[in-house]
Structure 1
């Protein structure tokens, strides 16, 4: 009887699958592509506005628009009064004054309030926070007529200080909520050590708390500045010619004579520049402030 060698076992090759890192790279590439497409969709109107601002009025009014039309600064020259129109400097200065001063007032009021609601919580601090939040539940249009009547009775219509008070009251609830979340991340042990060393409340707030939450203060200030700079409804109703702001001046280009598209686009670019400059200047503080407390 002859012994036969056992046949070697048959090994079935596993199905070929893409390695995990390769699949991950493909997924990331797809997500990146979608993000670029969405970003281009959002930034396309801004790019188109910038391009149109450097076209002449006949080229800007063509249908379909002429992309490769000759470039000119005629729209900017007309916006700054080269054609004998109104100069934009008083409205721009009014917007800058109202935005900066109201933002400073908001920070002066919001930081102590947020300190009392986070580090040294007052009694029923949740009710206080809800009260601040409830002031934003009222539609702006509903408060427009009472504010107008009060301003008319006090004789402060068309006054830049009226806008400063209105903008301060509008942005204060948002600033308190933002600063409260930032101040809640300040370690209590640091303040206790400062108190043991004889540091007063005012000094600890000035030398310890504020430097620690400076990115949060910058983020809050930038958001309040943007809200004040872009506000239109109150500025349109409560001002006339003396305290006219940049957004009100901007809508004045829509007249019965027609819409001068190149001039409007040039005006929109100029009016947007202060916000863009402030955002780029404080972008590092803004990112730190908005992410403060996200990772512990």
Structure 2
């Protein structure tokens, strides 16, 4: 009886999980389907749109109108660059909080996290003026700095939870063997925290790739990533649904593939230390 109940519960949970997963993924699926339709078919009723002929017309028009390769490369540079910069800052910071804790470590962590709660538009004007005065508008370097700073609290928090799981006795043994602080972080702590660092890197790359507010406000053409590429298909004349869907599909495809192959690592990174 118990076995039957367990099997029934497992079946119900599986069906519920697949149903929720489908509901979450449905907007992406619908966007992908619409991208293979013409503009005329894209505005039809849902059933009529699905039964209309498939076409690559929207993809051809998007390729002719926009420089996808440039936007894609900018997204790669911004996401990977900001992730590396954030890790360079966050690894020593998380190490100091995890292994040299002070009385106000938790307060500091909460303050860092609280900076993510402020609406970005609240600092838009001063940030824009700083970028204008320092000549950083429409530059990759400026956007890398911004993306690094806005995602740094999350990176520090995640690395902190991973580092807290490493026994401090191992680091003490390394110190007794004569390891310097630099050697302790690079050759003892970092190799043991590789799974956590990898999860943090993947999550930060996704967050930076999907960042739209700052990339739309601080870029125009040269440093414009794929978020700007998508936004260019919204015009005062109206929305070009098929082209917009094609551009969106081309923008999310790389990160969707990355997330698919690294989903286990991402889930671990998102849930690790949640109980704490």
TM-score computed with the length of structure 2 as normaliser: 0.91
Q: Kindly state the Cα deviation for residue 28 of structure 1 after the two structures are TM-superposed.
A: 2.4
Q: Kindly state the Cα deviation for residue 202 of structure 1 after the two structures are TM-superposed.
A: 1.2
In 2: Cα distance, 1:56 partner to 1:151 partner? 40
Would the aligned equivalents of 1:185 and 1:293 in 2 still touch at CA under 8 Å? no
In 2: Cα distance, 1:110 partner to 1:204 partner? 16
Secondary structure of 2:51 counterpart: coil
Match of 2:184 among 192, 198, 204: 204
Secondary structure of 2:166 counterpart: coil
In 1: Cα distance, 2:185 partner to 2:125 partner? 39
Structure 1 segments of 4+ aligned residues over 6 angstroms from their partners = none
**1:35 aligns to 2:17 (yes or no):** yes
In 2: Cα distance, 1:188 partner to 1:159 partner? 42
- Paired position in structure 2 for 1:180: 160
Q: Please list, as runs of the form range in 1=range in 2, the aligned pairs for 1:176-255 lying within 5 A after superposition.
A: 176-255=156-235
Q: How many residues align?
A: 274
For the pair shown, the structure with the greater C-alpha radius of gyration is: 1
Match of 1:283 among 249, 263, 273: 263
**1:100 aligns to 2:80 (yes or no):** yes
**1:72 aligns to 2:55 (yes or no):** yes
Could you tell me which runs of 5 or more consecutive residues in structure 2 were left unpaired when the two chains were aligned: none
Could you tell me which runs of 5 or more consecutive residues in structure 1 were left unpaired when the two chains were aligned: 1-18
- Structure that is richer in helix per residue: 2
In 2: Cα distance, 1:89 partner to 1:140 partner? 28
**1:270 aligns to 2:269 (yes or no):** no
Would the aligned equivalents of 1:116 and 1:122 in 2 still touch at CA under 8 Å? no
Distance 1:127 1:38, change over 3 A: closer
In 2: Cα distance, 1:162 partner to 1:99 partner? 13
**1:115 aligns to 2:98 (yes or no):** no
